[in-house]
Amino acid sequence: MSKQQTPTPHIGAQYEQIAKTMIMAGDPLRARLMADRYLTDVEQVNNVRGMLAFTGLHNGKKVTVMGHGMGIPSIGIYTYELFNFYDVETIIRVGSCGARQMNIRLGDIIIAMGCCTDSNYAMQYNLPGFYAPIADFDLCRRAVEYCEKTNLNYHVGNVFATDVFYSEDERKGNWTKMGVLADEMEAPALYMNAARAGKKALVICTVSDHILTGEATTAEQRQNTFIQMMDVAFSLV
């Protein structure tokens, strides 16, 4: 593909400007934070719809950091295009989540080995049953090893991803009874897109609030201080 070509209408980067390994966050300002903190020789490669993306070097390896927006539809569009039109091989999402278990505290790291969802995203594949979206095992294993080595508080297991942030469905508390660790809003689309494209993906979250206790961090803390999960993600590059 020519350097003059832009593969998709939603990402303004040229094909060669996107690395094969990407770390993504819902908030584009978190992408800028990661670029400033972890990358050298940085170039901004996207600003379409304000969805910032930066490519640079991390320990000599080319990496792109980018926002993906909120919700399954948004991350579904961006990661589909990145996997299929930019030939990205690995996408690691870092984000916030709400804890569902009493042994989980604010600031703990959640490594999403699998995810449950109330989304219809999987219906497009016309599968004769229910699909179980899971992370890439090697990425998951290495993330756990880094957390162990650095003495981080972490949990590994299922998360629940919903299409509705402000929900009136009282049944959602039943996910806690099934051992689900936390709620977030993007993992299934990322994991399904990766599976369909034959690529690798992992979701790493920091607990920003607790669904059972009502505890919560501030928006400023979520934007600027969730550094540990980023350290985990960049250890996988």
Question: Catalytic residue numbers?
Answer: 209
Burial class (CB in 10 A: 0-12, 13-18, 19+), 198: exposed
* CA end-to-end span of the chain: 25
Q: Which H/E stretch holds residue 174? A: helix 174-177
Report yes or no: 54 and 45 within 8 Å, Cβ to Cβ: yes
Q: Which residues on adjacent β-strands are paired with residue 25? A: 67, 94
- Quote the CA–CA distance of 21 and 59 in Å, as a whole number: 13
185: number of CA atoms within 13 Å, CB side?
Answer: 18
DSSP designation for 229: H
From residue 112, give the alpha-carbon distance in Å to each of 126, 129, 174.
25, 22, 19
